[in-house]
Amino acid sequence: MDRNNFNYLITLAKNNDAEFLTVFSEIYPGFVASLKRINPKIRSSELEFCAMTFLNFSTKNIAQYTFVTVRAVQVRKNRLRKKFNIASDVDFNNWMRDQILLGPIVEQRQISIISAQI
């Protein structure tokens, strides 16, 4: 990934720019697809939040960049934990980053299971 693209992405996130999710999806195309496979009804605002956690922004930073309270960010994390069935002992940010790594593996396993059933 080009360093300038990454810096641009971070700037978009810090400025709460509407283009953030579009640029993020271009740089990390498998991430959004992976989350949508887990929960097809995920909203774009939730995807933006997940993208920020993927980038390892702290709760305090997310609150600052999105103009909400720290408590609001914590509540959103808890709701997303339930939506994605993330155990409370699993680090939320690490789980989000793992989706990039697990995306193709999960898809390959699903293909293998379907093939075995045919």
pLDDT value at residue 100: 80
Supply the DSSP string of 16-67, one letter for each residue: T-TTHHHHHHHHSHHHHHHHHHH-TT--HHHHHHHHHHHTT--HHHHHHHHT
What are φ and ψ of residue 75, in 5° steps?
Answer: -65, -45
The overall average pLDDT reported for the chain is: 85
Angle, CA of 94, 38 and 13, to the nearest 5°: 50
pLDDT value at residue 108: 40
Q: What is the mean pLDDT of residues 57-77?
A: 97
pTM of the predicted model over 0.85: no
pLDDT for 113 beyond 60: no
